[in-house]
Amino acid sequence: MTKEILLRVQKSFPLDPKPFEVIAKELGIGEDEVISIIQDQKDQKIIRQTSAIFDTKSLGYKSSLVAFEIDEDKIDEAVKILNAHPGISHNYERNHTFNIWFTLACSPTTTLGLEPTIEALAKLTKANDFIILPTLKLFKISVKLDTTGKEAKKEKVVKKENINIEMTPLHMDVVKLLQKDIDIKSEPFEDIINTLDINYDQFFKIVDELQQSGMMRRFASILNHRRAGFNANAMVVWDVDETNGEDIGKTAAQFSAVSHCYLRPKYPNWPYNLFTMVHGKTKEETNAVVDSIDEEIESKSHMMLYSSREFKKVRLTYFTNAEQIWETKYKNGEL
């Protein structure tokens, strides 16, 4: 039952005043049992966080995947510098000359901007070289680890049409509060409606609008991959023809074991433009998925980049003053 619950809360957490009761009715068990199982999985750090997942671009942020080449003896100090930036949410060491890979997002109010911030970080970390790999085309971003082993090997990736909404101060307040990890209790959204002095109907109406607009991708639990038994997670990069890149990307995204699929730019020293994150419990399992993808798409070559160390993995916190503080320190030479 634990595996079924973990899969359910990853796919789409019920947006209901009593979400655990909804799950309990679906599975034919009691609400208290669901709460107990989820709390236990959180205590074991298998569930990393349960909160809203927002679309960075839709909220006005600019972001990119970045790869640095850092000398081995400078990595520890470089990681401290990188992890201190509030816009860096993920940071890994991978098996390549470009050995430090991180994602960086800059807010609409940044005074430096995305590329100048990357250049500043490269200087601070004494990087020998770096490449900036923004998303040119997003095919899929949805981390759902198959804890049951019963999911289909392929899935249909549906792109929904977004609507335009007027962002009111109340919408912004809801965004700020939905970012936070919920408490595992019968009414986990109760704290938000009490804080905002609104009722559930008003709250869920705003949440629905945020989803319909594309600003909020979904509300879900994110698992700690390794603690959940998925120990072989590889970033697989492919050299594909740009003119056919969209069709190729759509094909790769259909594999259930692929959580992220993007088209990114090529460089003279980096020929790979299709990026896929593939998750498996063993290297053999991950390799098998990659082989299956390779059979279905046209690529000149591909490379599997495993992470040897995870330095940072957090949800990006939107609309705080942390970025402003970092930029002020940088401009004052305090970093």
- Per residue, the 3-state secondary structure of the chain, as one string, reads CHHHHHHHHHHCCCCCCCHHHHHHHHHCCCHHHHHHHHHHHHHCCCEEEEEEEECCCCCCCEEEEEEEECCHHHHHHHHHHHHCCCCEEEEEEECCCCCEEEEEEECCCCCCCHHHHHHHHHHHHCCCEEEEECCCEEEEECCCCCCCCCCCCECCCCCCCCCCCCCCHHHHHHHHHHCCCCCCCCCCCHHHHHHHCCCHHHHHHHHHHHHHHCCEEEEEEEECCCCCCCCEEEEEEEECCHHHHHHHHHHHHCECCEEEEEECCCECCECCCEEEEEEECCHHHHHHHHHHHHHHCCCCEEEEEEEEEEEEECCCCCCCCHHHHHHHHHHCCCC
pLDDT of residue 149: 75
Angle, to 10 degrees, between the axis of helix 19-27 and the axis of helix 31-43? 110
Tell me the chain's radius of gyration from C-alpha atoms: 21
Of 129, 40, 119, 48, which Cα lies nearest the Cα of 89?
Answer: 48
Q: How far apart are CA 135 and CA 274, in angstroms?
A: 10
Of 129, 137, 141, which Cα lies nearest the Cα of 67?
Answer: 129
pLDDT of residue 66: 98
pLDDT of residue 143: 76
Note the pLDDT tens digit of each residue in 78-92: 999 999 999 999 999
- Taken in order of first residue, the domains within the chain and their CATH numbers are 62-144+226-313 (3.30.70.3460)
Residue spans of the chain under pLDDT 50: none
319 contacts 167 by C-beta, under 8 angstroms: no
The residue annotated as part of the active site, out of 90, 96, 171, 302, is: 90
Amino acid making up residue 14: P
Q: 90 catalytic, yes or no?
A: yes
Q: Which residue has the tokens 């697989």?
A: 236
pLDDT of residue 146: 76
Surface-to-core class of residue 197, CB atoms within 10 Å of its CB (0-12 exposed, 13-18 middle, 19+ buried): exposed
